[in-house]
């Protein structure tokens, strides 16, 4: 009776890599390591199902600090919104309705914002 062979994860990855990268036939790998093809394809499937773990960003000190600072800033802005505006004074003048077709001039609306400039044609020349 033969004893079961146990392979490390590194050995399993090396076998799958040899097939995929070096194009070694699966039958040759199975003969070389004394495994069945179903065992090899099970390892290959397991590798592909867990491959996204190779691309996961692992936190380092800089990432943790940046995420912490961003969270504090977000919390601060949320508190500011909850407290309401800091000033109550309005800087925009109220808008008055105007109907130029009814003979109303737009000058009263503009005059608080822009100082009145006399028309040159109407001004007397010296």
Residue 92 included in any domain = no
- Which pLDDT belongs to residue 84? 61
What is the pLDDT of the chain when averaged over all its residues?
Answer: 78
Domain count, the chain: 1
- Which pLDDT belongs to residue 126? 59
Note if the pTM is more than 0.85.
no
- Which pLDDT belongs to residue 20? 95
Distance CA(90)–CA(87), nearest Å, equals 8
Residue 30 included in any domain = yes
Domain extent, residue 21, equals 9-55
Residue 4 included in any domain = no
- Among residues 9, 17, 56, 16, the alpha carbon closest in space to that of 40 is found at 16
96 contacts: CB under 8 Å, gap ≥ 6? 108, 109
Work out the burial of residue 72: count CB atoms within 10 Å of its CB; fewer than 13 is exposed, 13-18 middle, 19 or more buried.
exposed
113 contacts: CB under 8 Å, gap ≥ 6? 93
Given a cut of 50, the residues of the chain with pLDDT beneath it are: none
């Amino acid at each position: 009776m033969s004893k079961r062979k146990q392979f490390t994860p590194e050995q399993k990855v090396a076998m799958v890599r040899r097939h995929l990268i070096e194009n070694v036939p699966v039958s040759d790998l199975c003969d070389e390591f004394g495994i069945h093809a179903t065992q090899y394809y099970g390892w290959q499937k397991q590798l592909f199902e867990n491959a996204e773990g190779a691309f996961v960003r692992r936190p380092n000190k800089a990432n943790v600090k940046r995420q912490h600072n961003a969270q504090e800033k977000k919390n601060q802005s949320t508190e500011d919104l909850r407290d309401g505006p800091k000033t109550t004074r309005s800087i925009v003048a109220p808008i008055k309705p105007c109907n130029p077709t009814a003979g109303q001039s737009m000058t009263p609306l503009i005059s608080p914002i822009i100082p009145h400039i006399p028309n040159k044609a109407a001004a007397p020349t010296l």
